[in-house]
Amino acid sequence: MNVMKMMKQAQTMQKDMERVQAALALKRVEFSSGGGMVTATAAGDGSIVGIKIDPRVIVPSDKELLEDMVLAAVDGAIKKSRELAAADMQKVTAGLSMPGLF
């Protein structure tokens, strides 16, 4: 493979990756815990953009349970966000033949 072709391919891939990253920031995934009592929403870039807590689960004497549910929901949302990002990035990098880069 000639160097110019590889450079053009790399430039195209970089532009595609930037486009995908911008699109990921607009996508949302949700993960719920506690039977839907706590839901975390993450953007495709991994940032947490929302938390919903059912008022019935707010019991001052059992704050540890609520903390556990929030943690589980946030963790699940971040994992789903990473999976979404990996799948979208795979579409950009699939089929490219760039020895030593992947």
- Would you say residue 63 lies in a domain? yes
- Would you say residue 77 lies in a domain? yes
- Would you say residue 55 lies in a domain? yes
Q: Which domain holds residue 84?
A: 20-93
Structurally, how many domains does the chain consist of?
A: 1
- Would you say residue 101 lies in a domain? no
Q: Whose structure tokens read 């930037």?
A: 18
Question: 54 CB contacts (<8 Å, ≥6 apart)?
Answer: 36, 37, 38
- Would you say residue 26 lies in a domain? yes
Q: At 24, which CATH number?
A: 3.30.1310.10
At 52-92, the pLDDT tens digits run 999 999 999 999 999 999 999 999 999 999 999 988 888 87
- Would you say residue 100 lies in a domain? no
| Mean of all residue pLDDT scores within the chain | 88
Q: Chain centroid to CA 11: how far?
A: 24
